[in-house]
Amino acid sequence: MKSTVTANANIALIKYWGKKDFDLNIPQNNSLSVTLDGLTTKTTVEFSSLYKHDELILNNILQSIEESKKLISFLNLIREKANINLFAKVISENNFPTAAGLASSSSGFAALALAGCDAAGLNLSKKELSILARKGSGSAARSIFGGFVEWAAGKIGYDESSYAMQLYDENYWPEIRVIVLVLEEGKKEVSSRSGMQSSVFTSPMYKSWLDTVNLDLISLKRALLEKDFTRIGSIAESNCLKMHSTMLTSNPPLIYWNANTLELVKYILELRKNGLEIYFTIDAGPQIKILCLEKDVLNLKKKLNSFDFINKIIDCSSGSGAFILNE
Ligand code: DP6
């Protein structure tokens, strides 16, 4: 009863920030993402009667019971579905910094959902896997699929109504790139889960976020259909800034950027003014993700190399959904 799975993280072009059903992890609004081939989690789950408790080894480090709490409640969902009562050993590795605003929970729970179900002998559809992954971490609902993915928010109290679906697969637009700039490798101070809850209840901007996010989604879907990079970049950038405005105006304020993030944002705007067509998006952390086209990647990377504070540059294309690696 063992399975190994790989899943990629995704980056939202239309963000998810806020839940309307906290227990079921049902979001306030639909979101849209692209799955990235350069940010990958590999997870092995083994259920066995030899294990006396659940055990998680994350990036080669054995996690405490406290650190494994989310994992254990997620395994309980799988055990319940499969009607088994065996404990599991889970070994998971990311090829990028964990919990630093690089969407590690998206690839993490997508990989865990598929590996856990496969190891438990369950054969779920992608939609069912997306519903399950959502309960580990909302953004993980999208990482079950490759390419461009929409997560339909669904209704409060209706578990089955909230799931992701693929709009276009990973081969739809090979020229589109996301350049991830890692500025800080540490764990973020405020998790997305508690940060978004605070924005929903305390930010005076939250209502405007909800009033405009659907229109952003419709416009971005149209631009994707037309492969209109200029519109995709501008909508994604402005949607990200709107999300950050709800963060900044939360009480207490949520400031996920650092000084280097701001310096790069200004630099990106400057480069764009001078004719290089690039856009940024940022999640709940200081890292920057630049949207660009393949033809500009080399030139852009050369320019970025002059910043000493950029720890890592990860060049991503649109990647595949979660899949099983077992021989
Ligand atoms: C800013 O999916 O990590 O990256 O559902 O509470 O686990 P939980 O939150 P999570 O939040 C992601 C927030 C975001 C935007 C996005 O990916 O859409």
Over residues 218-244, the pLDDT tens digits come to 999 999 999 999 999 999 999 999 999
Q: Has residue 43 got a pLDDT over 80?
A: yes
Q: Has residue 99 got a pLDDT over 70?
A: no
Which residue minimizes the CA distance to atom 1 of ligand 1?
A: 283
CA–centroid distance, 70 to ligand 1, in Å, is: 15
Among 139, 254, 255, residue to substitute to test ligand 1 (most atoms within 8 Å of Cβ)? 139
Give residue-wise pLDDT tens across range 1-30.
999 999 999 999 999 999 999 999 999 999
Give the pLDDT mean for 192-218. Answer: 97
pLDDT at position 326 is 74
Q: Has residue 98 got a pLDDT over 90?
A: no
Ligand 1 pocket (Cβ < 6 Å) reads 12, 15-17, 25, 31, 103, 105, 137-139, 192-193, 283-284
pLDDT at position 187 is 74
Contact 286, 261 (CB under 8 A): yes
CA–centroid distance, 192 to ligand 1, in Å, is: 6
Q: How confident is the model at residue 73 (pLDDT cuts 50, 70, 90)?
A: very high
Give the pLDDT mean for 306-315. Answer: 96
What is the rounded CA–CA span in Å between residue 238 and residue 269?
Answer: 12
Q: Say what percent of the chain tops pLDDT 70.
A: 99
The H helix count followed by the E strand count for the chain is 9, 14
Q: Which atom of ligand 1 is nearest to the CA of 243?
A: 1
pLDDT at position 100 is 62
What is the rounded CA–CA span in Å between residue 154 and residue 248?
Answer: 27
Which amino acid is present at 172? Y
pLDDT at position 101 is 64
Cis peptide leading into residue 252 (ω within 30°): yes
Which residue minimizes the CA distance to atom 4 of ligand 1?
A: 283
Q: How confident is the model at residue 103 (pLDDT cuts 50, 70, 90)?
A: confident
CA–centroid distance, 139 to ligand 1, in Å, is: 5
Q: Has residue 102 got a pLDDT over 80?
A: no
Give, for 104, the enclosing helix (H) or strand (E): helix 104-119
CA–centroid distance, 251 to ligand 1, in Å, is: 19
